Structure 1
């Protein structure tokens, strides 16, 4: 059964590589940090104080990348028992309506994600309650780049951001705008994926937005394996 996923070319292929590489690195990072912490705790009665916070951030990044990845490969579960009662043209219209709703939702979440992250990145929030109508006027008192994480130490190779974000003051922990950057990036990527899915349906390359027939796919896999015996 075809998923409707097409890796595409150019910009889309670059985004694909970024997603897949990021997911692999995040999984590896979580595994390594957790393993080291277990060894230190049970072998040496110590541990990485910042390990839990780091793995929490890595997991949050993994979740947001995973959301966009499942949209890309149409792996999200869906119930289409009612939709399948209609003819193919009607199902296509329903899929397009669902796609438009998903795009609108992703756009609103992207706006909220930017506005939240901007507080920590010394950047202006958008104006407008639902849709951005511009950017608010920034004052020095509005800068929040000095907010730090709780435990993760600030590495020396990031000292160059101190004059830019913290008026030259030293960071003891990494600033929050770094781990929180996944919010606008991840939601922007989700918006991009929903637009891609909508275009696939519009062009007739796919008949469904994000429906995955997991059980049917598993049966087909087993059938193919048995056929090869």
Structure 2
């Protein structure tokens, strides 16, 4: 799994770097040379989509997604784990729907064969990032489910904005 972890991080970093590079080149060409690339917006959008669908999985892995767990945290460890397992199972159902729907969408786009406006590339080839991204998210939720069932964790480790804000506030006061 370390390979997938590193691959996610590299893809996100490279897509952000590529988006920044293309946007910078477009600005320089437009305002310095009074010209531009017709394909820059589409390429930037493609890089952004790849970054977002890879970032979904990364966010699940590092617990960066926002969740409301104030009530759940009041429960006992056993009940908290049960609620977390139920939540992960619901997330897996949702991911299943999204994986199925995105697969149908990509297959329809493949049948139609529509290309991008400014790139000689069929849209379905780029849209494959949707089912790939949802498959990665499903894998991450399966990992969390395994950790919950085996008792290695007792809750979903979600982002805690309140705790983060309090830490920042205490650092500002120091």
**2:125 matches 1:178:** yes
Q: Which ranges of structure 2 fall in alignment gaps of 5 or more residues?
A: none
Give the corresponding residue for 1:187.
134
For residues 61-101 of structure 1, give each alpha carbon's deviation from its aligned partner in whole angstroms, at most 9, with x where no partner exists.
Answer: 11111111110011112121111222111111101100110
Give the corresponding residue for 1:93.
82
- 8 Å CA contact 1:71–1:210 kept in 2: the answer is no
Work out the CA distance in 2 between the residues paired with 1:206 and 1:218.
24
Which is richer in helix?
Answer: 2
Work out the CA distance in 2 between the residues paired with 1:175 and 1:84.
48
TM-score normalised according to structure 1 size:
0.70
- 8 Å CA contact 2:22–2:44 kept in 1: the answer is yes
Work out the CA distance in 1 between the residues paired with 2:149 and 2:10.
29
Shift of 1:120: 3.0
Please say which of residues 107-116 and 209-218 is displaced more in the overlay: 209-218
Give the corresponding residue for 1:128.
none
Aligned residue among 138, 148, 151 for 2:115 = 148
Give the corresponding residue for 1:108.
97
> What secondary structure, in the 3-state scheme, does the structure 2 residue paired with 1:174 have?
coil
Q: Which ranges of structure 1 fall in alignment gaps of 5 or more residues?
A: 1-11, 122-142, 153-172
Give the corresponding residue for 1:133.
none
Which is richer in strand?
Answer: 1
Give the corresponding residue for 2:144.
197
Give the corresponding residue for 1:5.
none
Q: Residues 226 and 204 (structure 1 numbering): CA distance in 2 closer, same or farther, change over 3 Å?
A: farther
Q: How many residues are matched?
A: 174
Shift of 1:220: 4.4
Q: Select the structure of larger CA radius of gyration.
A: 1
Give the corresponding residue for 2:23.
34
**2:15 matches 1:48:** no
> What secondary structure, in the 3-state scheme, does the structure 1 residue paired with 2:121 have?
strand
Work out the CA distance in 1 between the residues paired with 2:10 and 2:63.
19
